[in-house]
Amino acid sequence: MARRALGGTVARGTAGGDLVVAVPVSHAEQVIGVMRASSAERTVRDRVLAVWAALLGVAVLALAVAVLVARRQARALTAPLEDLSRHCRAVMDGDLTARAAPSTIAEIDQVARTHNDMLHSLSELLRHERNFTANASHQLRTPLTGLQLTLEAGLEQDESRLRPVLDEALAATRRLHDTVEEVLRLSGSRGLPHTAAPDRAVADLLSETEERWHGLFARDGRRLECVTDEVPGDERVPGGPVAEILGVLLDNARAHGRGTVRVRVRDLGDALAFDVGDEGALEADPARLFGRGHTGDGTGAGIGLALARDLAFSLGGRLFLASGDPTTFTLLVPVPGRLE
């Protein structure tokens, strides 16, 4: 190799297990010497193998990191979809309270929000349907019983006394018709407030209320008084819903109150206040009093006051417990002509 290097070329080769390279050294275009370098072949091979092993390790590590990141991303994508699928299965099983939780993926969140909104609308629709059925059955039970008793009493009368019984039965039928109309109106309005036409004078409304309920309270040995405080008798209110609310309050006073029952109308300027009170004391929690399914004494279906509250709200008014001892409920009915 030295001769080849003296010839002016770089020489490479092996000698005695070493890798050898000879490089010519020139001066003034003349080769004046040779520089020789060597290294053990085994050492070079070990270094190359170490580099390749390091490269292989880095590749394996990069592949492992890539797999872990891919699995994490896959879980991030599939977990919200699996959660949404579980909620859909819960809804299929009848749980309408199930709601999909938000995730970190905007597209899946949009699907979840649409699902929740759809489920909320469906729940509201079913709630209104259930409330309509409960309201109708609750409000029709008492007048149907009264109509049945009236007709049974008429069968026992002779023909000369049959006309008053038929008139009373006809009046009860009209009240049933009004009740059905109000329950249907409340169901159709979805409980939203609206301006109802003031179609009945306050004096006529109180007179009809007293005529309808006086005999029932007298049968229980109690009195019913209907008075107004400087309210013009020709002042008009939405007769149907107000009559239904007063009916619920009077029925509640008859079932749970005691002593004389008073219906009082007060003029508050932009609204009329209808107070219905008796001489009893209310021990129920006022915060839960108007909850559907709750009754103060644990009896009944707990629908009447909830229905009366919904009817008042649908008129843009309000029904609340003004006093617990003596028990007094107040219905506020806005007067459209006085509102600014």
Higher pLDDT, 312 or 96: 312
Using one digit for the tens of pLDDT, what is the confidence trace for 83-105? 878 878 877 777 777 777 777 77
Residue 301: pLDDT band (50, 70, 90) is: very low
Count structural domains, the chain: 3
**Do the domain assignments include residue 99?**
no
Task: Say yes or no: 317 and 257 in one domain.
Answer: yes
**Do the domain assignments include residue 293?**
yes
d(CA 289, CA 295): 7
Residue 108 has pLDDT above 70, yes or no: yes
Task: Say yes or no: 285 and 163 in one domain.
Answer: no
Mean pLDDT check: name the lowest of 16-20, 39-43, 190-194, 333-337.
190-194
Mean pLDDT check: name the lowest of 13-22, 59-68, 277-286, 313-322.
13-22
Taking the CB of residue 304, how many other CB atoms lie within 10 A of it? 23
Residue 30 has pLDDT above 50, yes or no: yes
**Do the domain assignments include residue 41?**
yes
Structure tokens at 118: 């759809």
Domain's final residue, options 54, 74, 94: 74
Task: Say yes or no: 327 and 207 in one domain.
Answer: yes
The Cα angle at residue 96 between residues 94 and 98, in degrees rounded to 5: 110
Domain's final residue, options 188, 217, 238: 188
Closest residue by Cα to residue 303 from 262, 263, 244: 244
**Do the domain assignments include residue 32?**
yes
Average pLDDT of the residues in 9-16 = 76
Q: What is the pLDDT of residue 265?
A: 94
Task: Say yes or no: 114 and 141 in one domain.
Answer: yes
Task: Say yes or no: 184 and 205 in one domain.
Answer: no
**Do the domain assignments include residue 83?**
no
**Do the domain assignments include residue 193?**
no
Task: Say yes or no: 127 and 184 in one domain.
Answer: yes
Residue 266: pLDDT band (50, 70, 90) is: very high
**Do the domain assignments include residue 87?**
no
pTM for the full predicted model: 0.51
Determine contact, residues 318/329, Cβ cutoff 8 Å.
no
Considering the chain, what percentage of its residues have pLDDT values greater than 70? 72
d(CA 227, CA 306): 26
Residue 330 has pLDDT above 50, yes or no: yes
Task: Say yes or no: 270 and 170 in one domain.
Answer: no
Domain's final residue, options 55, 74, 93: 74
Task: Say yes or no: 175 and 209 in one domain.
Answer: no
Structure tokens at 261: 């029952």
Average pLDDT of the residues in 228-244 = 84
CATH number of the domain residue 281 falls in: 3.30.565.10
* Cα-Cα-Cα-Cα dihedral sign, residues 160, 164, 167, 172: negative
Determine contact, residues 322/330, Cβ cutoff 8 Å.
yes
Task: Say yes or no: 57 and 163 in one domain.
Answer: no
**Do the domain assignments include residue 97?**
no
Task: Say yes or no: 236 and 299 in one domain.
Answer: yes
CATH number of the domain residue 125 falls in: 1.10.287.130
Amino acid at 212: R
Residue 204's domain spans which residues? 200-338
Residue 5 has pLDDT above 70, yes or no: no
Residue 195 has pLDDT above 60, yes or no: no
First to last CA, the chain: 115
Q: Which residue has the tokens 């019913």?
A: 224
* Cα-Cα-Cα-Cα dihedral sign, residues 245, 136, 181, 315: positive
Residue 300: pLDDT band (50, 70, 90) is: very low
H-run or E-run covering 36: strand 30-40
Task: Say yes or no: 237 and 323 in one domain.
Answer: yes
Q: What is the pLDDT of residue 82?
A: 81
Task: Say yes or no: 261 and 281 in one domain.
Answer: yes
d(CA 194, CA 189): 8
